[in-house]
A = this chain, B = another copy of it.
């Protein structure tokens, strides 16, 4: 069953990548942008916790996003150790495209399923995340 979970994740990652080839972003970059799409700024650690990777891993991903002009790195007022990741206009556009693509895929895949099934899915996913 956890194997099916992995396969589903894999399948959706492929769909997302195919849908977003024009953005020329890797899966990690897409994931980072998707987690920033709400417009709130985050520190590297916070973002790492959200996407499930260590801060060391994010550094190079953020390097590319910064070089591409999608994010900026700023200092957090009150703690100069922290780096605040923030979307630029270009990053906001990309994040909006990503969010739309995710919503589209959801609609396509789950449109025919019952509300109860989707609720069950959510409760299982939440339980798995809690367990981690």
Given contacts A1-B106, A4-B122, A102-B2, contact A113 B129 (CB under 8 A): no
Given contacts A7-B52, A123-B117, contact A132 B2 (CB under 8 A): no
Q: Which of A3, A122, A125 has the most CB of B within 10 A?
A: A125
Query: Is there a chain B Cβ closer than 8 Å to A24's Cβ?
Result: no
- A106–B112 CA distance with the chains assembled, in angstroms: 27
Q: Which of A88-132 contact B (CB under 8 A)?
A: 102, 105-106, 108-110, 112-114, 116-132
Partner of A113, one of B1, B3, B109, B127: B127
Q: Which of A16, A50, A120, A126 has the most CB of B within 10 A?
A: A120
Q: B2 contacts A52, CB within 8 Å?
A: no
Distance between A130 CB and nearest chain B CB, rounded to angstroms: 8
What are 23 A-B interface contacts by the 8 Å CB criterion? Answer: A3-B31, A4-B122, A4-B125, A4-B129, A5-B5, A6-B9, A6-B12, A6-B13, A7-B52, A8-B128, A8-B129, A8-B132, A10-B132, A11-B131, A11-B132, A12-B128, A12-B131, A15-B132, A109-B127, A113-B124, A117-B120, A118-B120, A121-B121
